[in-house]
Amino acid sequence: MSIPEETFDVVVIGGGPVGENAADRASRTGLSVALVESELVGGECSYWACMPSKVLLRAGAVRALAKETPGLRDPGAPDAAAVFARRDEITSNWDDSGQVSWVESAGLTLVRGHGRLAGERLVEVTLRAGTGSEAQGGAESGLGEAETGEAPAKRLLRARHAVIAATGSVPVLPGTPGLAEAAPWSSREATAADTVPESLVVVGGGVVGVEMANAYADLGARVTLLSRGGLLSSAEPFAGEMVAESLAALGVDVRTGAEVASVERPGIGAEDGGPGPVTVTLADGGTITAAEILVATGRVPRTADLGIESVGLDESGLGRGGALVVDESLQVTGVPGGWLYACGDVTGRAPTTHQGKYQGRIVGDVVAARYGTEAGDRSPTSGDPEPAVGQEGKPWSRYAATADHSARVQVVFTRPQVSWVGPTEREARAAGIPVEAVSYDLAWVAGASVESPGYKGRAQVLVDTQRRVLVGATFVGPDAGEMLHAATIAVVGEVPLDRLWHAVPAYPTVSEVWLRFLESYGL
In a domain, 441, yes or no: yes
Helices 207-218 & 237-250 angle (0-180, nearest 10): 20
Residues 211 and 138 grouped into a single domain: no
What CATH number is given to the structural domain containing 197? 3.50.50.60
Task: Let me know: does 37 contact 63? Beta carbons within 8 Å.
Answer: no
Separation CA 13–CA 111 (nearest Å):
10
Interatomic CA distance for residues 523 and 518, integer angstroms: 5
Residue span of the structural domain in which 81 resides = 46-93
Start-to-end CA span in the chain (Å): 75
Its pTM surpasses 0.75: yes
Distance CA 258, CA 178 (A): 17
What pLDDT score does 275 carry?
A: 85
Which are the contacts of 223, defined by CB distance < 8 A and separation ≥ 6? 199, 200, 201, 202, 213, 216, 217, 251, 252, 253
Distance, in Å, from the CA atom of 132 to the CA atom of 431, rounded to the nearest integer, reads: 53
Same domain, 15 and 75: no
State the amino acid at position 191 in one-letter form.
Answer: T
CA dist., res. 171 & res. 15, Å (int): 18
Measured CA to CA, the distance from residue 359 to residue 344 in angstroms comes to 6
In a domain, 72, yes or no: yes
Assess if residue 387 is contained within a domain.
no
Looking at the DSSP bridge assignments, the partners of residue 123 are 117, 157
The CATH number assigned to the domain holding 456 equals 3.30.390.30
Same domain for 135 and 11: yes
Number of domains the chain contains: 4
Distances (CA, A) of 277 to 173, 184, 263, 335, 443: 19, 11, 11, 49, 43
pLDDT tens series, the chain, 523 aa: 688 899 999 999 999 999 999 999 999 999 999 999 999 999 999 999 999 999 999 999 999 999 989 999 899 999 999 999 999 999 999 999 999 999 999 999 999 999 999 999 999 999 976 654 444 433 333 334 444 556 779 999 999 999 999 999 999 999 999 999 999 999 999 999 999 999 999 999 999 999 999 999 999 999 999 999 999 999 999 999 999 999 999 999 999 999 999 999 998 877 666 789 999 999 999 999 999 999 999 999 999 999 999 999 988 889 999 999 999 999 999 999 999 999 999 999 989 999 999 999 999 999 999 998 765 545 565 444 455 666 556 677 889 999 988 899 999 999 999 999 999 999 999 999 999 999 999 999 999 988 888 899 999 999 999 999 999 999 999 999 999 999 999 999 999 999 999 999 999 999 999 999 999 998 8
Q: Identify whether residues 131 and 269 lie together within a single domain.
A: no
Quickly list H helices, 341-392: 353-371
Give the DSSP letter string of 175-215: --TTTGGG--B-HHHHHH-SS--SEEEEE--SHHHHHHHHH
Whether residue 226 sits in one domain with residue 204: yes
Do 12 and 127 have their domain in common? yes
- Give pLDDT, residue 382: 47
Burial readout 40-77 (b: 16 or more C-beta within 10 A, e: otherwise): bbbbbbbbbbbbbbbbbbbbbbebbbeebeeeeeeeee
Burial class (CB in 10 A: 0-12, 13-18, 19+), 439: middle
194 assigned to some structural domain: yes
Examine residue 326 and state whether it is found in any structural domain, yes or no: yes
Does 185 share its domain with 247? Answer: yes
